[in-house]
Amino acid sequence: MKKMFRLFLLITILNSSGCAYQPNLVQGNLLDEDNIDQIEVNMTKNQVLFLLGTPMINDPFHANRWDYVYFVKIGRNNASFKRWISIFFDDDKVATITKDKQLKSNL
């Protein structure tokens, strides 16, 4: 009886060790559609900072380009959500805005 109990306990412990929790992964700047729509050509860098916050990628070799990325991965499954926008400046004013065409989600 003791051997059966020990065997059962060992099997239970081994099975439980494979059930590791994996939290949701959230990275980047939360990009609100309303704020993105307010970005216009000829806005200053300070106005963009006010609307979107500090850029996630601020490349020292391309000081006139700010990149904002938002990525979410839900648990162990392949459900994810990605959003990005790149803003190019000329004389500290917005010259070009490049962003994803639509929300890329497979949640």
Q: What residue spans define the domains of the chain?
A: 22-105
pLDDT (average), residues 2-26: 79
pLDDT (average), residues 67-81: 84
Q: Which residues pair with 26 in a beta bridge?
A: 72
| Terminal-to-terminal C-alpha distance of the chain | 48
Separation of CA 7 from chain center: 45
- List of residues 6+ apart from 79 with CB closer than 8 A: 73, 106, 107
Judge whether residue 27 has pLDDT over 60. yes
pLDDT (average), residues 41-61: 90
Distance, in Å, from the CA atom of 77 to the CA atom of 1, rounded to the nearest integer, reads 40
- List of residues 6+ apart from 4 with CB closer than 8 A: none
Give residue 95's pLDDT. Answer: 95
Which CATH number applies to 22-105: 1.10.3910, 3.90.550, 1.10.3470, 3.30.1450?
A: 3.30.1450
Give residue 107's pLDDT. Answer: 47
Helices (H), 1-107: 2-17, 33-38, 45-52
pTM reported for the whole predicted model: 0.70
Eight-class DSSP state of 76: S
